[in-house]
Structure 1
Amino acid sequence: MRLGLRLLFAFLLITGLASLLVMRVFLVEVKPSVREVMEDVLVDSANLLAEAAADDLAAMPPGGDLRDSAFARSVHDYARRPVQAQIWGLHKRSLDFRIYVTDAQGRVVFDSGTPSMVGADYSRWRDVARTLKGEYGARTTRDSPDDELSTVMHVAAPVQRDGRLLGVLTVAKPNATVQPFIDRAERKILQAGTLLIGVSALVGLAVTFWTVRSVRQLRDYARHVGDPADDAGARLRPPALPGELGELAGAMDAMRQRLAGRARLENDVRALTHELKAPMAAIRGAAELLRDDLPAADRQHFAGQIEDQVRRQQDLVDRLLMLSTLQGLEAPARTEPVDLTALSEQVTQRLAPALAQRRLHLVWQRREPLPLRGDAPALELALSNLLLNALQHAPEGSVLTLDAHRDGDTLAWSLRDEGPGVPDFALPQLGQRFFSTPNPVDGRKGSGLGLAIVAQVVALHGGQWQAEAASPGLRVRLRLPAASH
């Protein structure tokens, strides 16, 4: 089967299914939407009637009821009123509100639908119980347990006088009274959906022709990308063979992998070479000087310089290996319950001597437990890198501010230093391999692998990280999903 026929068939199939799905979604949403509007009307009605009943309920003696009150007579008069209403072509011939009132203990003092229930205890019914607690009270209950069309919506409102709760008034209305409106809306949706499918079939012919032509051009282009010796690819005509889409996907994927892998490797090798130049030159220079007859102090100085540079290179290699290991993972290497706040405290305690040496003060803005499931060693490594980075860039005697709190289902953790910060143009590049800014203490630049490790650890745990200017300083935010219960 040719590509055009395949695409046309697929388009019609997908469009038909999508149209049916959309119609189904609309049909499913019609009933809840109508009932939401009905609930809104019931809320207004309940609050209005609660004001009307307030005087009679306030005057009612303890243990009494409202059956002979002015409010009760008004409700009974309402129920007897004749109605002949035309609502968008539909006839309404009955008034459907059921109204009942309870006192502050939940005892029924009036019920327009079932007068025999006066004196009954409604305090455990959801609408009454929640309203008595000062909350929004509503419920939907079936009159007949086996009939889903017998549901009745109840909405309650508090009856108050001078800030004192006198009782609860509930307005109930059967959902069946709005079912004709739902049925009419569903019929119109079905008619419109049928027309949509027909129009989609016509659009499919035009879209298929355009798509086939574009895909074939793109396939030929993808086959010759990366081959500078062949510049005639755009002029080639594809053979009349099936499977063009498969060839296109394979050609473009192979091209992407080759180009992306080659570019990444070249960038990493170039950056790593650049990072190693300075320490290698320092080691070579110190080694040459050590061949001479030097005073003991100078020999000690140059030996220490070699040791320092070797340590830098070892740290670079270790971090690069760690980052490579993390990038090879699709999920955390291990999952266990972890408290990010407790883990932060462990890291800060371990770094306490370094903080004290530079007279840095650690302040918690908020310190809430942040439970999640993850790889504790990897998370500890990420937090250590962030704190070390802040420690290196913060001015001596300044403050490091930590914040740990929950934001819904998200754990929010942040660290701010009061250093020189990072220029705005450099903020988006933080977290990239071998990108770093000069250390304000000694002017030396790091490898940038620390923040790259942070970014990778956070991504493995399904979170996000962000660096932003704090004026002064830099604030790093982590957002991670909380542990599910």
Structure 2
Amino acid sequence: MTTALSIRRTAFLWLAGLMATIGICAAAASYLLVQSEAADFLDNQLRQIALYVGNERSTPAVGPDSTAQHDPEDDFVVQVWDASGTPLRQSHPAVEIARQSGTGFADIATDRDRWRVYTLAAPDRTVQISQDMSVRQELATSAALQAALPIIVLIPLSLLTLGWIIDRIMARLNRLAGAVAARDTTTDDPVPIGDVPTEVVPFVSAINLLLARLHGLLERQRRFISDAAHELRTPLAALQIQIDNLRHDDRDGRFSERLGELEAGIRRATGLVGKLLRLARYDAREAAPAPQPIDLVRLALDTVARLTPFAESRGIDLGITRQDKAVAQGALADFEIILDNLVENAVRYTPPGGVVDVAVSVVGREAYIEVSDTGPGIAEDDMPHIFERFFRARPQDGEGSGLGLAIAKAAAERQGAQLTLAMREDQTGLRARLLVAR
């Protein structure tokens, strides 16, 4: 499996490689050119000295500069012969460089060194100027390195500048990604393209087209659920009336059992229709009622009181284990829906003889309501899907519709609360926590 590089890393690697290659080639070319120029310059020095050197013997003048420190190896070797070949001048008697027969440059090797020699052969004299090749190489290399050094230094600086430029470019794409990620499914406005690079505008336009199609699909889905739920309420109510009439006419009770089963099925269908309508309202992002103070302990007590008959019918011990005083701001109806669904879900999936505990706790500026059960819990693979609609965790032999937790999650999001589910650590079972800000 291959991993695709990011646009930023790909652009940086390619441009950095290109700039490094250009810099290295430029530095190498500069080095070679400067070295060649330095050699030509030194050769010209040899020629100029040969042209203007005199025949007279001389001794070094004593003056202010006579004590200046210098490397004797850097000195030129000056040799002058007359027409008969008799030496007239020899600047370094210890250096023996053979006299050349013709005018021109030559590379001569002695026992100790290699020399670059220029010979000027005239009818009345021969002048020969020599320079140590190692000195020439040292001077040329130093000049070449000084010329290449700025390029070598500029390469890492240019790479840093390149990274900064790419970061600036990618920041616009990151802002675009953040704007798309922060959009709500109910938002109709397209993604703005004012700050989008020209090359990315077609991609953003395609995203806007896709979002428009998705919004239309979701709107049709919400409308279908709402319309279908509304249409189902009337025939279910009519069926309930017919059952009541049949039960009234069934004086000897011959059909009471079947009528009871039919009535239970209608109650389940009516409950499902009610949940679908509630989900449709949450999906439509209807404005929540005006917030009001909610006593969380009173809310928990009322919920337990409402669901105690249901818990007793299933042999479940339902109660409250902690009652910290806590008041939250929000819509009471939404909090009732959340807690009813959590407690009902816990009672429904806890086996007979189990326990369902409700606790109201306060930690700092936050309060939370916990619903803990002793049921089988939820498999780790099912946990990421637990708030999906119509999803029922294994085992699926219960009576639930798969909408209770989805409704509770939607109601919690509308109230700005945080709803989480996790396996209990002290024993088997599930713990649901509703966290609210006081």
TM-score, structure 1 as length reference = 0.42
TM-score, structure 2 as length reference = 0.46
